[in-house]
Structure 1
Amino acid sequence: MVEDCEKQSHGSSSSGCRSLRSFFIFTVFLVLFLCYYIIPNELSDTWAVTVGLFLPEKYTIKMVNDSLNAAPIVTSAEPWKPPEPYCVAYPHTYNLVLNEPEKCQKENPFVILIVPVAPSNAAARDTVRSTWGSERLIGDKTVSILFLLGLPASEESETLQQNLLQESEKYHDIIQSDFWDSYYNLTIKTIIMLEWLHVYCPNASYAMKVDSDVFLNVKALVKMLLSVPKQSYMTGLVARNAVVLRDPHSKWYLPKTVYEPAFYPPYALGLGYIFTLDLPEKLIKAAQLVKPVYIEDVFLGLCMTHLGIALTNPPDGTLFNVFPVEYNRCRYSKLIATTTRSMRDQVEFWKDLQKPGPYC
Structure 2
Amino acid sequence: MVEDCEKQSHGQSSRGCRSRRSFFIFTIFLVLFLCYYIVPNEISEFWTVTVGLFLAENFTIKMVNNLLNKPIAPTVTSVEVWKPPEPYYVAYPRKYNLVFNEPEKCQKENPFVLLMVPVAPSNTAARDAIRSTWGSERLVGDKTVSILFILGLPTPEERETLQQNLLHESEKYHDLIQSDFWDSYYNLTIKTMVMLEWLTVYCPNASYAMKVDSDVFLNVKTLVNMLLSAPKQNYMTGLVARNAVVLRNPRSKWYLPKTVYEPPFYPPYALGLGYIFTLDLPEKLVKAAQLVKPVYIEDVFLGLCMTHLGIALTNPPDGSLFNVFPVEYNRCRYSKLIATTTRSLRDQVEFWKDLQRPGTNC
Q: TM-score range by the shorter chain?
A: 0.7 to 0.9
Q: Secondary structure at 1:187's aligned position in 2?
A: helix
| 1:153-172 map, 5 Å | 153-172=155-174
Which position in structure 1 is the counterpart of 2:245?
Answer: 243
Q: Which residue of 2 is the match for residue 184 of structure 1?
A: 186
Deviates more, 1:60-69 or 1:338-347: 60-69
Q: Is the 8 A contact 2:114 2:147 kept in 1?
A: yes
Q: Find the residue that maps to 1:268 and give its secondary structure.
A: strand
CA distance in 2, matches of 1:271, 1:101: 26
Per-residue deviation, 1:56: 1.1
Decide whether aligned partners of structure 1 residues 71 and 197 sit closer, same or farther in structure 2, where only a CA change above 3 A counts. farther
The percent identity for this pair of structures is 86
Aligned to 2:70: 70
Q: State the AA in 2 paired with 1:283.
A: L
Match among 207, 210, 214 for residue 216 of structure 2: 214
Contact 2:267 2:304 in 1 (8 A): yes
Give the TM-score taking structure 2 as reference length. 0.82
Matched, 1:359 2:361: yes
Distance (whole Å) between structure 2 residues aligned to residue 289 and residue 114 of structure 1 = 25
Question: Residue 319 of structure 2: SS of its match in structure 1?
Answer: coil
Deviation at 1:184, TM superposition (A): 0.1
Tell me how far apart the structure 1 counterparts of residues 328 and 85 of structure 2 sit (CA, whole Å).
43
- Corresponding residue for 2:255? 253
Structure 1, unaligned runs of 5 or more: 1-42, 73-79
Tell me which residue corresponds to 2:108.
106
- Aligned 8 A contact 2:51 2:243 in 1: no
Q: Of residues 305, 315, 318 in structure 2, which corresponds to 1:316?
A: 318
Deviation (angstroms), 1:84: 3.1
Distance 1:274 1:53, change over 3 A: closer
**Aligned-residue offset at 1:328:** 0.8
Conserved in 1, the CA contact under 8 Å of 2:189 and 2:297?
yes
| Residue matched to 1:55 | 55
Matched letter for residue 235 of structure 2:
Y
Q: Distance in 2 between matches of 1:273 and 1:67?
A: 27
How many residue pairs match? The answer is: 309
**1:163 Cα offset (Å):** 0.2
Q: Is the 8 A contact 1:246 1:253 kept in 2?
A: yes
What secondary structure is seen at the aligned counterpart in 1 of 2:89? coil
Aligned residue runs from structure 1 range 1-360, under 5 A:
54-70=54-70, 82-360=84-362
The one-letter code sitting in structure 2 at the alignment partner of 1:136 is R
> Which protein is bigger by CA-based radius of gyration?
1
**How far off is 1:54 after superposition?**
4.4
TM-score of the superposed pair, with normalisation by structure 1: 0.83
